[in-house]
Structure 1
């Protein structure tokens, strides 16, 4: 386990020390409450099943990290960064050859994205596309800026395309700001044409922090689909009176109506189903089956200060309530207390709902009484499946399903992950990519499957070197070019389900992890309401990737990754100035 200090800020454990490195000063990150859009149609549609892919090649281009970076060790997969002095930055250039994700016919971009999102994801983004009002946010003391319809701006007639030289003149001095250090990578892409307008060391891998969640969001939506739901089940155990709670990988599962996530599945409702199925015969023992997820429960390269009980992430298990939190409250500042063993704690809470006093233990659910586990007979029909009478009322055959509850649609879970930068949700989503691909639901299985999915989508998977799905690991590496390519593809309509990620991106000065960014006087305030982006923050790392509309009305995708920064507050301000410079660039 690594040494480190406790996190003092919510997002991605901002200001926690990297393994073996010092911590910088504390930062403040605001978060708005996340609304719950209505359920999409066909929400119970079965998931697609992916193929099994080979492990993606590990790139050889990654630069050394700055002193105080990740501890040198032998991780489970991929090379750890090598300590050493920073490599001098290459000259800034304008690259116009990277067009593997060009969106095609410009007018189809808006129509494709709009139709896909309105069909499967009514909610905040629908209002941005002209289909209704923007989602309501938690009331604040100051009026909230109305978000600009970012995706609606993306057509061939909207705005003047900036020139590479113009962008370089506007932001290159900002990219060289002392607060950002020497390890800065920038990519700026025109969303309509796919043209790379400005690139500064954009193909080298940088520590991405929470911008990793963009890859997690895109790959899980592509692998499972926006309507997919996660199921938590209870079956009869091998012994009379024994019930088995089976974790289905739902991080949003709640205990009762006091839920962290709107519309979450609930243990009290599951307990009521079990009680009814048993015909009034009270269970006497509860087991938990957490076999869906395998391998280590914490990631390589995670600082110990980030891990529960007082950190920003819990042990990653297939059974938990409120993403492992002790209370259904998301703490905007400081630690976010979690259970040290989320699965066992969830089992105990379930036992309380059933009135079972016996100790909760781990176990394995018996096979269903029929050959097809997906059609397990409910307890109410147990006599039909068991004519010899052993499954009499209150004593169903082992493996008989006694109840189940389902999560909200996956698109809502991805929204919460992006808005709150929830690390536990991110890790469980990565494991869903693995399960869809037929791989083990582990850190390694998740990251291999995410990279394979990028390759399958036509994105350069060799520009990602991942050790987790949340971005907490200092060993993670992603190129700015990959992030802008992913965003351009999501907006282009060729992969409609990927377009759902835009609805979850925080809005500058308005929501999520950008609520208190771009809210200061000029020049940064120009970005308020017109920037949607995922931020990332670790000690010495400050990143942002998303979309914006220039003052000339042009939609751009951008990524800025700085992994050798100074104090967090100064680095964030410098990063915001770059993005604000793009918004205000009449170039």
Structure 2
């Protein structure tokens, strides 16, 4: 049975990007074998100081988020307690670990039977880009939810952190027909009780439609979810994923990540359970909810295509836009995806990469587009082979070295928008998927100094992120194993924790 790599609630929204005054941008490396410029350490330390040293609200830079608070117009910010530092500061001048020292610390830990016989690892120094340890570092490995790091970086590069996904309503071909056009916003809510705080709402869209139509009563709702193409489930998913609570049908129109019972899902989420029953046809379910708001009966809802939009048409004429709402900015959706390991948000963001690169908004198109953007960023795209954006597919392959390159690139200042990935990364012993890890004596050194994304499928365990050594040196690491014993999930996770904790607890010199 598949074990989802979903996260427990974290400390809050993403922190801001690189601070003003960071070092001048430098070109990204063409391949991981080339050393990253020395400026990377200073910039990444500054980024982490902003993004995670004491993970505090309010989220990312104001220019990316706009002026509206996360709770919606008029929402008063909740009072916050004083932040508590959870990540140790990194020292760019700290002693550099040696390859021999890192190997001595990690070699016994990566060979333990609970990790199986295919454990691929990459560890590098952030300041210099110097590889410190590699074991199958360039080998493609099933990454599970660590895939979301690639999705995050590529969508931020392709769309930008401020981009918002639209949901539109246009007048249909017949009087009284309203067409709701899905733009791919997975967080769209029906009303103010939605799953994702601050999300765009159908009741707002319905009010716009009523005002635009004036005295004309809506009589029919047509659902246009044609923006996406191809299958709604990736063929490489395990058979239980579409109905197991962590995956679902991927459609261009949905509300609340296709959750069927939003109130129950919110309660479960607060308790640390991110599984939720999903509706089988998210686009039609959203269309019926929209129809209710317009006073249109459910039997007058069907799929179809919107007429070509006519910007000059009078309100109510075929193709005239009747209303529009927009999602949270991508920087917040990325944070949700990483913090909660939200699979449907991930698939939606992957399709935004496809749309930005004029590829079909499908599993295949998204994978091709993410590969292309990774290459544009100077990452070793030949070490990347994707089938989806969430990591649910066992067909995905990512090398550990690509992940460490990616994490370094997000912090080197050349692409400041990519630093948004740090805000959502779980912190060892404190938040997300790492909240209840790094507790035992053998892994305790990683608490508060490991920040990483995890991934889990049956027999697959992965972790990739950042760690500060005992001397204060900042390292990036990725450990992926895809042939672990099927009955040793907890033991495998503990073994991964010990690897990162070993880096945290030693100077490795």
1:313 to 208, 230, 247: 247
Query: Aligned in 2, Cα 1:541/1:585: closer, same or farther, shift over 3 Å?
Result: same
- Aligned: 1:542 with 2:461: yes
Corresponding residue number in structure 1 for 2:480: 561
Partner residue, 2:20: none
Shift of 1:368: 1.8
For 2:334 and 2:447, the matched residues in 1 are separated by 23
2:214 maps to 279
Deviations 1:41-82 (A, max 9, x none): xxxxxxxxxxxxxxxxxxxxxxxxxxxxxxxxxxxxxxxxxx
Residue aligning to 1:32:
9
Residue number in structure 2 paired with 1:62: none
Contact 1:100 1:458 in 2 (8 A): no
Query: How far does the alpha carbon of each residue in 1:350-403 deviate from its partner, in whole angstroms, 9 at most, with x for none?
Result: 11111111421001000122xxxxxx25xxxxxxx45xxxx6xxxx11011111
Please give the per-residue CA displacement for 1:107-137, whole angstroms capped at 9, x wherever unaligned.
45556787999xxx974578xxxxxxxxx99
Structure-2 change in CA distance of 1:97 and 1:165 (3 Å)? farther
Provide, for residues 404-429 of structure 1, a one-character-per-residue CA deviation record: whole Å limited to 9, x for no partner: 11111100000000001011111111
Inter-CA distance 115–180: structure 2 relative to 1 (3 Å threshold): closer
Tell me how far 1:103 sits from its aligned partner: 5.2
2:166 to 231, 236, 240: 231
Match of 2:229, SS?
coil
Specify which of 479, 493, 502 is matched with residue 581 of structure 1: 502
**Structure 1 149/434 Cα, relative in aligned 2: closer, same or farther at 3 Å?**
farther
Shift of residue 208, structure 1, vs aligned partner = 0.4
Residue 514 of structure 1 deviates from its aligned partner by 1.4
CA contact (8 A) 1:225 1:410 kept: yes
Structure 1 residue 99: deviation in Å?
2.3
User: Structure 1 length as normaliser, TM-score?
Assistant: 0.75
- Please give the alpha-carbon distance, in whole angstroms, between the structure 2 residues aligned to 1:138 and 1:462: 48
Q: 1:337 aligns to what?
A: 277
Shift of 1:201: 1.3
Whole-angstrom CA distance in 2 between matches of 1:503 and 1:285: 43
Residue aligning to 1:366: 307
Question: Alignment partner of 1:304: what SS?
Answer: coil
Q: Aligned partners of 1:529, 1:106: CA distance in 2, in Å?
A: 19
Aligned equivalents of 1:38 and 1:245: distance in 2?
A: 34
Farther-moved stretch of structure 1 (299-308 vs 407-416):
299-308
Q: Larger Cα Rg: Structure 1 or Structure 2?
A: 1
Write the distance in 1 (CA, Å) between the matches of 2:79 and 2:433: 14
* Residue deviations 1:466-490 (CA, integer Å, cap 9, x gap): 1111111111111100000111111
Instruction: Give the Å deviation of 1:510.
Output: 1.3
Q: CA deviation at 1:36?
A: 4.5
Match in the other structure for 1:47: none
> Cα distance, 1:456 vs. partner?
0.7
Of 490, 493, 501, which residue of structure 2 is paired with 1:572? 493
**Partner residue, 2:426:** 506
2:146 aligned with 1:206: no
- The structural deviation recorded for 1:101 is 4.1
Among 336, 351, 355, the alignment partner of 1:435 is 355
2 CA distance for matches of 1:282 and 1:409?
33
Q: Which position in structure 2 is the counterpart of 1:75?
A: none
Distance 1:102 1:324, change over 3 A: farther
Q: Which runs of 5+ in 1 are unaligned?
A: 13-29, 41-95, 127-135, 370-375, 378-384
Distance, in Å, in 2 between the alignment partners of 1:189 and 1:137 is 40
Contact 1:103 1:492 in 2 (8 A): no
Instruction: Report the CA distance between 1:183 and its aligned residue.
Output: 0.7
Please name the residue that 2:441 is paired with. 522
When the two structures are aligned, how many residues end up with a matched partner?
A: 468
> Residue 240 of structure 2: SS of its match in structure 1?
helix
Match of 1:184 among 119, 131, 134: 119
What is the TM-score with the length of structure 2 in the denominator? 0.86
1:32 & 1:194 partners in 2: Cα distance? Answer: 32
SS, match of residue 405 in structure 1 = strand
Cα distance in 2 for partners of 1:39, 1:241 equals 45
Distance 1:485 1:526, change over 3 A: same
Give, in whole Å, the separation in 2 of the partners of 1:447 and 1:438.
13
Residue aligned with 1:165, SS: helix
Where does residue 53 of structure 1 map in the other structure?
A: none
Spell out, residue by residue over 1:293-314, the C-alpha distance to the aligned partner (whole angstroms, 9 max, x if none).
1111111210111113x43111
Q: Is the 8 A contact 2:141 2:480 kept in 1?
A: yes
Which among 156, 175, 188 is matched to residue 110 of structure 2?
Answer: 175
CA positional deviation for 1:203: 1.0
Counterpart of 1:263 in 2: which secondary structure? coil
How far has the Cα of 1:523 moved from its partner? 2.0
